Amino acid sequence: MILVEDTVLGHAALYAYLAGLTDRNLLVEGLLKPLAHAPDGEPNAQSIGATAHSAAPCRPLADIEEAENSIAEGEVILWVQDAFYSFLLPQFDKRTPQEPPTSAVLKGPREGFGEDIGMNISLLRRRIKDKALIVKKMQVGALTHTTVAVCYLSNVAMPSVVQKVVQRIQSIRIDGVVDSAYIGQLIADNPYSIFTQYSTAEKPDIITAKMLEGRVAVMVDGSPMVITVPCLLIEGFQDSEDYYRGNKRTTFLRVIRLVGIIIAVLLPAAYVAVQEYHYQVLPLKFLQTVINATSGVPFSPTIEMFVVLVLFEILNEASVRMPKYVGMALSIVGAVVLGETAVNAGLLSSPAVLVMALSAIGLYTTPEHIGSLGLLRFVFLILAGLFGFVGLLSAAVVTICYVVTLNNYGVAYAGPIAPFVMADIKDSFVKAPLDRMITRPYSIPSQGRTRFRKEDEE
């Protein structure tokens, strides 16, 4: 903390502030100099405010405790004649908007949110230039005093949902919030669920689109990730670029993502079930190939697949944690050296490695659900190893039943598929042309259903 003794309107005074959080030029030119050189007078909020630079608004403080909190928040405190005044002269190193690494696109806007909540709100306001955009700010965290902003469109979002979000955030009692994920987890309906209860996005165009459908966005100071609720399972299969390209291509890609997920979750388990119990499913020639490839492997198919999947998870975790270039080297070591050597040594079979590779690739078609589906495939694998197709399908039924009965903010998580809402199928696993998107989705509660109206051509 920096302490500066000086005079203010002819009276001895003390300035206090934290280095690195205050614009030093503005402090000297806008505050210290004008107040020191001003003629003598009675120091109060009005006279100090009139003398200081307009960029440094003056706020009187009640007591020393409030002054301490203001210093901690990065403000400059002036102590003169036993009274405290604060000035906000912020200087933060902040990132300029740039393309976020999690949402790189070929077509479409490239700017992304940063860590400064003010900048993030301004990015949102640049896209929604209407008074309907409401930003409610509040502070969460007893020690961090983190600013959290709830953003919504007052004529689109359902008031009950907004109220529920605001109430849940206000009821949070925590020492600190360091990322929006904290808020996301604390306001979730089902905190024990392995499925994501909130969506995250790093780009203002995605958040704008979601708010236009009636969702509520929550921004947290210091986090580039903005969360939106209510959340649907199907959001994981949608990408911002889907809306910037043709609907046929988009539909095709969404089906491909679905197939990718099915392969990712079911293929390892199905491979094990077939090999352990139901080999008669395979055509004879295919079966011969599998038997030739797996003969000599010392593990049972279940153990073998389990080992392969665990190895993949270890490699994945290591390559994500490592610096970029080391991570690339690690990937090569994992893919080529380990995989190739293990197959040549006869410890693993090539079909198992192939199945694992296909499963891993399929998993990354929907990054939003990697966490939950990555766990599920282990559960499916174990049950398939124990009970064959019966175990695998029982696990699938239970999982689907769990998903279709999951609710968040009164919204069915598996909508619009279950419950089936025909009107919303236009933007689910298929995508209709934009001029057919006449109404907002029924699966998300909102006011004013119509979002598109074509004027008659003259």
Partner 1 sequence: MRFLNAYNKLTRAEVGILLLLLLSTFRICLLPAVLSQVAGESCVYVMLSGLAIDLVICVAALRVAGMGGIGGLRLHPVVRRIFCGVLAFFFFFKVTVHVYEAVAYCVNDLFEQASPLLLMVVFVLTSAFLAHKGFAGIARTGIMFMLVIVFLAVLSVFFAAFGGYGYNLWVLLRPHDVGKGLLQSMLWLGDGAIFFLADTRTSVHPERHFRWGILAFAVVAVGMLFFYLNFVFTYGSAGQYVRFAFVRMLTNGDPEELGAVDWPIMLIWLVSVPLAVATHLYAGCEGLRQCVSRREHGGLPFLVVGTIAVMVAYYLMFPNGDGWRHLVESTAVAYTLVGVLGLCAVVAIVAAFWGRPKGQEVRQ
Interface ranges with partner 1 (CB under 8 A): 277-278, 280-281, 283, 387-391, 393-394, 396-398, 400-402, 404-405, 410, 412, 414, 417-423, 442, 445
Nearer to partner 1, 151 or 165 (CB): 165
Pick from 263, 199, 264: nearest CA to 227: 199
| Min dist. Cβ of residue 292 to partner 1 (A) | 22
Nearer to partner 1, 26 or 274 (CB): 274
Residue for token digits 């949902």?
A: 161
| Min dist. Cβ of residue 102 to partner 1 (A) | 29
Nearer to partner 1, 390 or 434 (CB): 390
| Min dist. Cβ of residue 364 to partner 1 (A) | 23
Nearer to partner 1, 161 or 305 (CB): 161
HEC string of the chain? CEEEEEEECCEEEEEEECCCCECHHHHHHHHHHHHHHCCCCCCCHHHHHHHCCCCCCEEEECCHHHHHHHHHCCCEEEEECCEEEEECCECCCCCCCCCCHHHCCCCCCCCCCCCCHHHHHHHHHHHCCCCCEEEEEEEECCCCCEEEEEEEECCCECHHHHHHHHHHHHCCCCCCCCCHHHHHHHCCCCCCCCCCCCEEECCHHHHHHHHHCCCEEEEECCCCCEEEECCCHHHHHCCHHHHHCCHHHHHHHHHHHHHHHHHHHHHHHHHHHHHHCCHHHCCHHHHHHHHHHHCCCCCCHHHHHHHHHHHHHHHHHHHHHCCHHHHHHHHHHHHHHHHHHHHHCCCCCHHHHHHHHHHHHHHCCCHHHHHHHHHHHHHHHHHHHHHHHHHHHHHHHHHHHHHHCCEECCEECCCCCCCCCHHHCCECCCECCHHHCCECCCCCCECCCECCCCCCCC
| Min dist. Cβ of residue 238 to partner 1 (A) | 18
| Min dist. Cβ of residue 376 to partner 1 (A) | 15
| Min dist. Cβ of residue 286 to partner 1 (A) | 11
Nearer to partner 1, 374 or 388 (CB): 388
| Min dist. Cβ of residue 457 to partner 1 (A) | 28
| Min dist. Cβ of residue 337 to partner 1 (A) | 37
Say if CB 208 and CB 226 are below 8 A apart: no
Nearer to partner 1, 378 or 387 (CB): 387
Nearer to partner 1, 83 or 423 (CB): 423
Nearer to partner 1, 371 or 419 (CB): 419
Nearer to partner 1, 138 or 281 (CB): 281
Nearer to partner 1, 117 or 392 (CB): 392
| Min dist. Cβ of residue 390 to partner 1 (A) | 6
| Min dist. Cβ of residue 401 to partner 1 (A) | 4
Cis peptide before 351 (omega within 30 of 0): no
Distance (Å, rounded) from C-alpha 31 to C-alpha 217? 38
